[in-house]
Amino acid sequence: MSDAMARPAVTTLSEDELAFRDAVREFAEGEIKPLVVKMDEEAQMDSALIPKLFEMGLMGIESPEQYGGAGGTFFMACLAIEQLGRVDGSVSVLVDVQNTLVTNAFIRWGTDAIKQKYMPKLAREWIGAYALSESTSGSDAFALKLRAEDKGDKWVLNGSKLWITNGNEASVFLVFANMNPAAGYKGITAFIVEKGYKGFTVGKKEDKVGIRASSTCELLFENCEVPKENILGEVGKGYKIAIETLNEGRIGIGAQMIGIAQGAYDAARDYVKGREQFGKPIAQFQGIQFQLAEMRTQLEAARLMVYNAARLKDAGEDFIEQAAMAKLFSSRTAEKICSMAIDLFGGNGFTREYPVEKFWRDAKIGQIYEGTSNMQLQTIAKMELS
């Protein structure tokens, strides 16, 4: 067992972290909660909400202050994602992708010129998207068919991407394409594509079961022209960026899941206190109490795992196995807690008049995106057996 694996989870929050968490929670309750039902029904993010996310500093939490960011930590980004998920999974994943995938990648692999050009915009006005998945490359992430050709003064991309979060709202896309198929995954390169580039189109938006206000879109590249300098990292090293960024992003998804689970738990706990059957609140029945205790215990365990992985990442320690375990466990836990919440609401829980059915719908995606549960199991097993 490595030193990183042996250390216990650090759950105590500093005063700054507590203040930040509480500020995000207050923002979510005041600014997002009144919009949740409408956004879910219309499958559309409220356009007036996005500028408020930037004003709150939630779109550049780790970005250095010199680029207009908050200069915070990865752990703080996870706190924000959790608190937003407690109210709405769609807003939570928008902020998650912006911070843990897109901005994180620019911080780690961007040249000074690229950082100067893009990071202030990402911190203050531009939403980013992370474009890896294709119709034939889901769990097999490197079976990419999007092609990039070197045309001397520019790159030309042809192909498509699917299931891209923030597709409608994004102004800049981190796009993975293969410029040398004969080299396999070593031909994969990360390109920076702006929404207005010639030959680039955002296609259809998926009609999803959950996180409906989050846009999940197809991207089309038809002789899309990308400036020669718009490479993130090195040519042929995109696979490294994809792997390492997704390892970090999985902790963000874990944070989203514990937020969703917390929202469902809170709703169920409050409901059973007021719902009467047989002449008294159902919270007084031991069977109900035991279910709440089970939900609360599972939620706390998931939170410990997510927080521990985030702390390890900030400390510069090995966190890959912890990230995989945190995403695996938190996503399973979220679905279970949300389902139990519906049970506690009874017939009311199966209607859209109450919030728990939405939490349940939003939770399911956690076992699919940024690496399915089976892929997390594979990662854990490989690390244990290596």
Residues shown for the chain = 386
- In the numeric block, the tokens 């001397």 are attached to 152
248 lies in the same domain as 218: no
- Pair 74, 195 in one domain: no
Domain boundary at 175, 205, 236, which? 236
pLDDT of residue 11: 64
**Same domain for 123 and 136:** no
- pLDDT means over runs of 10, the chain (386 residues): 42 91 98 98 97 98 97 98 98 98 97 98 98 89 92 97 98 97 94 98 97 98 98 96 96 98 98 96 98 98 98 97 98 98 98 97 97 96 95
Beta bridge partners, 129, equal 173
Closest by CA to 215, choosing from 250, 255, 173, 176, is 173
Count of structural domains, the chain: 3
Q: Are residues 150 and 85 in the same domain?
A: no
Q: Are 76 and 207 members of one domain?
A: no
Locate all alpha helices (DSSP H) within the chain, ordered by sequence: 3-6, 15-27, 36-42, 49-55, 74-85, 89-96, 104-109, 112-124, 238-274, 286-314, 320-345, 356-363, 373-385
User: Do both 264 and 378 map to the same domain?
Assistant: yes
Query: What pLDDT is recorded for position 5?
Result: 40
What confidence score (pLDDT) does residue 136 get?
86
> Do both 103 and 228 map to the same domain?
no
Last residue of a domain, one of 127, 145, 173: 127
The answer to whether the CB of 158 falls within 8 A of the CB of 34 is no
Sequence-separated (6 or more) residues with CB below 8 Å from residue 292 = 265, 268, 269, 272, 283, 344
Residues 16 and 101 in one domain: yes
State whether 221 and 244 are in the same domain. no
Q: Are strands 231-232 and 188-194 parallel, antiparallel or unpaired?
A: antiparallel
CATH of the domain at 112: 1.10.540.10
C-alpha dist (Å) from residue 109 to 63, 130, 237, 293: 13, 14, 10, 44
268 closest CA partner among 188, 362, 354, 199: 354
CATH number for the domain spanning 308: value is 1.20.140.10
- Return d(Cα 54, Cα 33) in angstroms, integer: 17
Q: Is 384 a catalytic residue?
A: no
Same domain, 153 and 164: yes
Based on the fold, state whether residues 14 and 85 are members of the same structural domain.
yes
Domain extent at residue 210? 130-236
Choosing from 236, 261, 282, the residue where a domain stops is 236
Supply the pLDDT for residue 4: 41
CATH number, residue 194: 2.40.110.10
Same domain, 20 and 103: yes
One of 134, 218, 357, 370 is an active-site residue; which one? 370
The DSSP string of 317-341 is ---HHHHHHHHHHHHHHHHHHHHHH
